[in-house]
Amino acid sequence: MDRPTREDALALFREFNQSENLLKHALAVEGVMRHMARLRGEDEEKWGVIGLIHDLDYERYPDQHCAKTEEILRERGWPEEYIHAVVSHGWEICTDVEPTHTMEKALYAIDELTGLVTATALVRPSKSLHDLKVKSVKKKWKDKSFAAGANREIIEKGAAMLGVEIAELIGEVIEGMKAVAADLGLDGSLAAADA
């Protein structure tokens, strides 16, 4: 397989994962990776596919995260470039494969941040990304007990590797997630359902 398509990635992801939340996370990361690739004049399809597939093994093999994905993707004939990129998001957490390409640094930087952005959107009355401001996320960033699972140290390390400020990175994540807001349930439909 020279160049896995979005369809390949989505079918493979669904084969291994049932969780709606994990699918939403995959779609959020894909959306942000596409946006970041566009901003940088990079290969949007490749960045998107890598974002979509990065947590492939997480539901079935949480204790072998990254290692199992590497095994599965290699079995399925995925290119080494894609495998390296996917695995490197677990650098110093579940692998010693370091992010080197810009695409890999981007993935590393935004993976956890999509969680913080999602959590921030959900506590606002609109429950929407469309009116979410960088400063709202910044405020929640400082509150370490809020969405504590979103590891600020990792995000900071990723932003530094990428050479962007946290505020700028938050802006890119919000913009990237907006494109898939409806799929994430973060387009205001949840607030409408509450009313």
The footprint of Fe ion (CB under 5 A) covers: 55, 111
- As measured in angstroms, the least distance from the Cβ of 57 to Fe ion is 9
- As measured in angstroms, the least distance from the Cβ of 26 to Fe ion is 8
- As measured in angstroms, the least distance from the Cβ of 66 to Fe ion is 7
Pick from 55, 93, 47: nearest CA to 73: 55
Choose between 47 and 188: whose C-beta lies nearer to Fe ion.
47
Choose between 41 and 149: whose C-beta lies nearer to Fe ion.
149
- As measured in angstroms, the least distance from the Cβ of 38 to Fe ion is 21
Choose between 112 and 187: whose C-beta lies nearer to Fe ion.
112
- As measured in angstroms, the least distance from the Cβ of 185 to Fe ion is 18
Choose between 93 and 160: whose C-beta lies nearer to Fe ion.
93
Q: Rounded to an integer, what distance in angstroms lies between the CA atom of residue 107 and that of residue 83?
A: 13
Choose between 55 and 104: whose C-beta lies nearer to Fe ion.
55
